[in-house]
Amino acid sequence: MGRSSSAFSAVLCLLLLLSAGYGQLDYKFYDTTCPNLTKIVRRGVWSAIANETRLAASILRLHFHDCFVNGCEGSILLDESIDFKGEKNASPNRNSVRGFEVIDAIKANVEKACPSTVSCSDILTLAARDAVSLAGGPFWFVPLGRRDGVTANETAANTDLPSPFESLGNITAKFISKGLDSKDVVVLSGGHSIGFAQCFTFKSRLFNFDGAGNPDPILDESLLTSLRSVCQNQDDSNSNLVPLDSATSSKFDNSYFKNLVNSSGILLSDQTLMSDNKTAALVLNYSKYPFMFFKDFGVSMTKMGNIGVLTGVDGEIRKNCRVVNK
Ligand code: HEM
Ligand SMILES: *[C@@H]1O[C@H](CO)[C@@H](O)[C@H](O)[C@H]1NC(C)=O
Ligand SMILES: *[C@@H]1O[C@H](CO)[C@@H](O)[C@H](O)[C@H]1NC(C)=O
Ligand SMILES: *[C@@H]1O[C@H](CO)[C@@H](O)[C@H](O)[C@H]1NC(C)=O
Ligand SMILES: *[C@@H]1O[C@H](CO)[C@@H](O)[C@H](O)[C@H]1NC(C)=O
Ligand SMILES: *[C@@H]1O[C@H](CO)[C@@H](O)[C@H](O)[C@H]1NC(C)=O
Ligand SMILES: *[C@@H]1O[C@H](CO)[C@@H](O)[C@H](O)[C@H]1NC(C)=O
Ligand SMILES: *[C@@H]1O[C@H](CO)[C@@H](O)[C@H](O)[C@H]1NC(C)=O
């Protein structure tokens, strides 16, 4: 083979890699290989929500918990195997994250239309977008081309995901370590506009916040009374559910931020956004300008959806979202 023809092959190779979107995400990634993808995903999310409204929230959270652990590469979807412990059993996830069946059902339909072509991590990212928009929230375009990881990390799920008992400083540090910032903490906390929390995640605010038997003095009185009726001061109510946005729990809107302004946030980590002047100013803006929240939410979700993605020849396209390919 001559010198010029090998140079030619190298150039051709480079062009092919570029057109495949090598190393970066691309809005048109599946346009020729799976043209019906976005329709299939949206229909799957729609039918799940039609059956159970809460699944919109559950799918959104699943995407967040995927991205914060080893990046958005579908590791949270993997069941435990002989090679690794699953993230599903990590403390922020166990008996808490849900919606796996929805992703399985969508993946099965996508495999029928375009076998071994679309990653589980792209499906989850699109599904989270559709969950938000079908719940009445904003729509944004999702760049695609993520590939699926081949392992899960239970330890990383325990250490990297924020906890509702942490300080704002610690939560912000976790976001920063993922390439996000303090504004993203406020904007993305707006995900709590939909869905539910179990009593144990905020119960310390209701009964013994100060160690002397008093509730969190910031918590609105009438909300306190209604929360205490669902979450009694005994362990058997620990998994009872309370809407994270007491005003409009199944509609994705800015009332989460209005609640924070009038001391009606559920999690301590929610209400604490009002304890810092910088984040409080942003909360106040979103409480007044829903359009500003919607626009910023799409931007921050896109940033979160790009955390640690695998592209090009890294990872794989899983056949079944729960197991690594043979
Ligand atoms: C800022 C730090 C965050 C903390 C400390 C936090 C904490 C929590 C907790 C404790 C729950 C209740 C879980 C349970 O009781 O089983 C929850 C639910 C939820 N979180 Fe977050 N979260 C955070 C950020 C986010 C982000 C960034 C999103 C998405 C953009 C999100 C979306 C959700 C949704 C939608 C639910 C309800 C899920 C359902 O009903 O199935 N959260 N979160
Ligand atoms: C896309 O879906 C339409 C029906 O909605 C179908 O007619 C068409 O064959 C599908 N295209 C591909 C490539 O699967
Ligand atoms: C609808 O939701 C219920 C639980 O709320 C579940 O048991 C059932 O399997 C779901 N049906 C479909 C078709 O997804
Ligand atoms: C899992 O995550 C932990 C914490 O981030 C890290 O120390 C460890 O090296 C990871 N394990 C693997 C196998 O990547
Ligand atoms: C914040 O993080 C530090 C270092 O990990 C830890 O010592 C501290 O207890 C955390 N604070 C809260 C409120 O979680
Ligand atoms: C707080 O705001 C919410 C949502 O706007 C509203 O439903 C609720 O009544 C308000 N509570 C108080 C005490 O003003
Ligand atoms: C935060 O705002 C309060 C009043 O709302 C003010 O007293 C305080 O000085 C402000 N702190 C900073 C660091 O700006
Ligand atoms: C709040 O919105 C106004 C515009 O309406 C803007 O000038 C200001 O910088 C915003 N504040 C924050 C903290 O984003």
**Positions of CATH 1.10.420.10 in the chain:** 168-303
Distance CA 257, CA 107 (A): 34
Domain with CATH 1.10.520.10 in the chain: 24-160
- For 252-264, how does the pLDDT look when each residue is reduced to its tens digit (9 = 90+)? 999 999 999 999 9
Residues 6+ apart with CB under 8 A from 49: 55, 56, 131, 134, 135
Kindly indicate the confidence band of residue 7, based on its pLDDT and cuts at 50, 70 and 90: low
Residue 125 confidence (pLDDT) above 60: yes
pLDDT over 70 percentage in the chain: 93
- Structure confidence at residue 9 as a pLDDT band (50, 70, 90): low
Contact (CB, 8 A) for 178 and 122: no
CA–centroid distance, residue 172 to ligand 5 (Å): 12
- Give the C-alpha separation, 56 to 52, whole Å: 8
**Domain 24-160 classified CATH 3.90.190.20?**
no
The ligand whose atoms approach the alpha carbon of 85 most closely is 4
With a cut of 80, say whether residue 1 has pLDDT above it. Answer: no
Percent pLDDT > 90 in the chain is 92
Distance between CA atoms of 24 and 159, rounded to whole angstroms? 27
- Which bound ligand lies closest to the C-alpha atom of 280? 8
pLDDT digits 0-9 by tens, 283-320: 999 999 999 999 999 999 999 999 999 999 999 999 99
Contact 71, 307 (CB under 8 A): yes
Q: E strand or H helix at 4, and its extent?
A: helix 3-19
Rounded to the nearest angstrom, the distance between the alpha carbon of 278 and the centre of ligand 8 is 10
pLDDT at 247: 86
Residue to mutate (ligand 1; options 45, 61, 62, 188; most atoms within 8 A of CB): 61
Residue-wise DSSP of 154-210: HHHHHHHS--TTS-HHHHHHHHHHTT--HHHHHHHHGGGGSSEEEGGGTTHHHH-SS
168-303 is a CATH 1.10.287.3510 domain: no
pLDDT digits (tens, 9 = 90+) for 48-92: 999 999 999 999 999 999 999 999 999 999 999 999 999 999 999
